[in-house]
Structure 1
Amino acid sequence: MKRALTLISFGAMLAFASAQVLASGNIENGKQKAATCFACHGADGNSVDPQYPRLAGQYNAYLVQVLHEYKDGQRNNAIMKGMDATLSDQDIEDIAAYFSSLPTKLDTLQGHIQGD
């Protein structure tokens, strides 16, 4: 029993340490770097216009992936490609950290799905 508790504790420590390593963005730097994003997505990441996604509370890894996909052309959107063109990998990490740290106001998809 003692060995099982030790293994569980060790596993929990590894999981926590892994999460810290993966979250390499700086929230405060991200807030400054995301200033141009606010016009469409809102300063709090909760866009009021349904044509722009709400970014607040999204998974950090998802935001990083999407920003890279816009930057390298895997996702085709002229506005986002232009916005991402000058972002470094660290900028993307920081912006993702900022938006993922914010509380979401999305409690339903009503009015937030294209075609509604």
Structure 2
Amino acid sequence: MKRALTLLSFGAVLAFASTQLLASGNAENGKQKAATCFACHGVDGNAVDPQYPRLAGQYNLYLQHVLHEYKDGQRENPIMKGMVATLSDQDIEDVAAYFSSLPTKLDTLQGHVEGAK
């Protein structure tokens, strides 16, 4: 039993460490690179207009994934495609690091899901 707990603990540490490595990026650089995002998503990543997603506190790797999908056309949105067109992989990591580091104000989906009343 003790050996199993030790292995489980070791596995958890490895999983955490690998997530941190995959979720690299510099939040300070990301804030500079995200300046054009602020008009819709807010400086604090908590967009006021419900048509724009709140980015603050989202998972870093999720944000990276979504930005890559806009960039390569897997997600179709002409505005976002234009916004990410010039971002390098490092830029995407930095922007994701910035928004994921911010505290979210989203505590419920009320009013934030399209079609919800």
Q: TM-score, length-normalised on structure 2? A: 0.90
1:58 corresponds to: 58
For 2:100, the aligned partner's letter is S
Number of the residue aligned with 1:44: 44
Q: Provide the residue aligned with 2:87 in structure 1.
A: 87
**What is the alpha-carbon distance in structure 2 between the residues aligned to residue 6 and residue 108 of structure 1?**
37
**Secondary structure of 1:65's partner?**
helix
Matched, 1:34 2:45: no
Q: Which runs of 4+ in 1 moved over 6 A?
A: none
CA distance in 2: counterparts of 1:89 and 1:21, whole angstroms:
15
| Alignment correspondent of 2:111 | 111
Separation (CA, whole Å) in 2 of partners of 1:38 and 1:106: 17
- The amino acid that maps onto 1:52 is Y
SS at match of 2:52: coil
C-alpha displacement at 1:72, in angstroms? 0.9
Code of the residue aligned with 1:32 in structure 2: it is Q
**1:81-104 C-alpha deviation (Å, 9 max, x unpaired):** 110000001101111111111111
Residue type at the aligned position of 1:91: D
State the match for 1:98 in structure 2.
98
> What letter is aligned with 1:102?
L
2-structure distance, mates of 1:84, 1:90:
12
- Tell me whether 11-20 or 81-90 shows the greater mean CA deviation: 11-20
Q: What TM-score do the two structures reach when normalised by structure 1?
A: 0.90
Per the TM alignment, residue 8 of structure 1 is displaced from its structure 2 partner at its CA by 3.1
Structure 1 gaps, min length 5 = none
Structure 1 residue 3 displacement after superposition: 2.8
Count residues in correspondence. Answer: 116
The answer for unaligned runs of 5 or more in structure 2 is: none
